[in-house]
Amino acid sequence: MAICFISKKLWLNGNNVSHSNIKTKRHIRSNIQKRRIFDSQSGCFFKIKLSNKGLKILERMNFSKCLKRIQD
Protein backbone atom coordinates (compact mmCIF):
# COMPACT_ATOMS: atom_id res chain seq x y z
CA MET A 1 0.00 0.00 0.00
CA ALA A 2 1.44 3.36 -1.03
CA ILE A 3 1.15 6.09 1.61
CA CYS A 4 2.62 9.57 1.34
CA PHE A 5 5.28 10.08 4.03
CA ILE A 6 4.40 13.75 4.64
CA SER A 7 0.69 14.22 3.94
CA LYS A 8 -0.36 10.61 4.84
CA LYS A 9 -2.50 10.36 1.68
CA LEU A 10 -3.87 6.93 0.77
CA TRP A 11 -6.60 6.65 -1.85
CA LEU A 12 -10.17 7.80 -2.38
CA ASN A 13 -13.15 5.48 -2.75
CA GLY A 14 -15.30 6.12 -5.79
CA ASN A 15 -17.52 4.51 -8.38
CA ASN A 16 -17.13 3.46 -11.99
CA VAL A 17 -20.40 4.51 -13.64
CA SER A 18 -21.48 2.73 -16.81
CA HIS A 19 -23.73 4.11 -19.55
CA SER A 20 -26.69 2.33 -17.94
CA ASN A 21 -25.81 4.00 -14.60
CA ILE A 22 -24.61 0.80 -12.91
CA LYS A 23 -22.06 1.71 -10.24
CA THR A 24 -19.15 -0.50 -9.23
CA LYS A 25 -16.68 0.36 -6.47
CA ARG A 26 -13.13 1.44 -7.27
CA HIS A 27 -10.11 3.00 -5.58
CA ILE A 28 -8.83 6.31 -6.94
CA ARG A 29 -5.11 6.17 -6.16
CA SER A 30 -3.03 9.22 -5.29
CA ASN A 31 0.02 10.10 -7.37
CA ILE A 32 2.74 8.51 -5.21
CA GLN A 33 6.40 8.87 -6.30
CA LYS A 34 9.57 7.42 -4.78
CA ARG A 35 12.10 10.18 -4.09
CA ARG A 36 15.64 10.27 -2.76
CA ILE A 37 15.84 13.23 -0.36
CA PHE A 38 19.03 14.67 1.14
CA ASP A 39 18.89 15.74 4.80
CA SER A 40 21.39 18.54 5.43
CA GLN A 41 21.40 18.07 9.22
CA SER A 42 22.33 14.38 9.25
CA GLY A 43 24.20 14.55 5.92
CA CYS A 44 22.62 11.44 4.41
CA PHE A 45 19.99 10.49 1.83
CA PHE A 46 16.56 9.00 2.54
CA LYS A 47 14.30 7.13 0.12
CA ILE A 48 10.69 8.05 0.81
CA LYS A 49 7.34 7.79 -0.97
CA LEU A 50 5.68 11.15 -1.61
CA SER A 51 2.54 12.38 -3.27
CA ASN A 52 2.83 15.48 -5.45
CA LYS A 53 1.23 17.51 -2.65
CA GLY A 54 3.84 16.17 -0.21
CA LEU A 55 6.60 17.09 -2.67
CA LYS A 56 5.32 20.69 -2.82
CA ILE A 57 5.28 20.84 1.00
CA LEU A 58 8.84 19.50 1.06
CA GLU A 59 10.00 22.15 -1.43
CA ARG A 60 8.65 24.94 0.80
CA MET A 61 10.20 23.52 3.99
CA ASN A 62 13.38 21.54 4.42
CA PHE A 63 13.35 17.86 5.36
CA SER A 64 14.13 18.35 9.07
CA LYS A 65 11.19 20.78 9.49
CA CYS A 66 8.89 18.25 7.83
CA LEU A 67 10.07 15.53 10.22
CA LYS A 68 9.32 17.76 13.22
CA ARG A 69 5.87 18.50 11.79
CA ILE A 70 5.14 14.79 11.31
CA GLN A 71 6.29 13.87 14.83
CA ASP A 72 4.05 16.50 16.49
Per-residue pLDDT of the chain in tens (72 residues, 90 and over written 9): 788 888 888 889 999 999 999 999 999 988 899 999 888 888 889 899 999 888 888 888 877 777 777 776
Name the architecture of domain 11-71: Roll (2.30)
**pLDDT value at residue 63:** 79
φ/ψ region of 8 (left if φ > 0, alpha if ψ in -120 to 50, else beta) reads left
DSSP run (H or E) holding 70: helix 63-71
**pLDDT value at residue 47:** 92
Contact 26, 16 (CB under 8 A): yes
Structural domain spans, the chain:
11-71
pTM to 2 decimal places: 0.67
